[in-house]
């Protein structure tokens, strides 16, 4: 399981590093969007500058996974990113759903062996 987890971490790190970099340098051609909700969504994200946060988080977390540094932090943050990616593909672009499911599988394979490190996040009351 250790090798499976390591391979999943590296693949997940590569995915998010490449797509994070693509958000800034546009080396992967994007499909032409038809007028409608999807085009409006991307226009709002790009026009507001929100894409910098989205792709910046993906890039940083991808690099953390690749460098094997702060992996639990990267996993927690990417959990939120993947939830948004899955929701986006489920509601607006179903064609991209299979790669999103693959990324989610890699996320689970990376997170499962270190699940004990997440236990403090589920403490009901903080000791303050």
Q: Can you spell out the DSSP letters for 33-94?
A: PPTTHHHHHHHHHHHHTHHHHHHHHHHHHHHHHHHTSSHHHHHHHHHHHHHHHHHHHHHT-G
State whether residue 123 is helix, strand or coil: coil
Question: What is the reported pLDDT for 1?
Answer: 82
Distance CA 86, CA 128 (A): 36
Distance CA 7, CA 32 (A): 33
Question: What is the reported pLDDT for 114?
Answer: 96
Distance CA 71, CA 74 (A): 5
Helices and strands, counts by H and E, the chain? 5, 0
Q: Which two tokens stand for residue 118?
A: 């997440």
The pLDDT profile of the chain, 128 residues, written as one tens digit per residue, is 899 999 999 999 999 999 999 999 999 998 777 788 888 999 999 999 999 999 999 999 999 999 999 999 999 999 999 999 999 999 998 988 999 999 999 999 999 999 999 999 999 988 88
Which residues have C-beta within 8 Å of that of residue 51, sequence separation ≥ 6?
A: 23, 45
Question: What is the reported pLDDT for 30?
Answer: 82
Question: What is the reported pLDDT for 127?
Answer: 83
Q: Which two tokens stand for residue 3?
A: 């090798």
């Amino acid at each position: 399981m250790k090798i499976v987890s390591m391979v999943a971490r590296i693949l997940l790190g590569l995915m998010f590093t490449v797509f994070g970099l693509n958000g800034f340098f546009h080396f992967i051609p994007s499909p032409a969007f038809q007028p409608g909700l999807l085009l409006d969504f991307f226009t709002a994200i790009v026009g507001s500058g929100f894409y910098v946060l989205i792709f910046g988080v993906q890039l940083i977390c991808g690099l953390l996974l690749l460098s094997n540094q702060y992996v639990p932090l990267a996993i927690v943050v990417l959990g939120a990113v993947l939830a948004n990616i899955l929701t986006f593909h489920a509601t607006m672009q179903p064609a991209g759903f299979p790669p999103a499911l693959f990324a989610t599988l890699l996320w689970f394979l990376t997170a499962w062996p270190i699940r004990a490190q997440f236990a403090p996040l589920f403490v009901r009351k903080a000791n303050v």
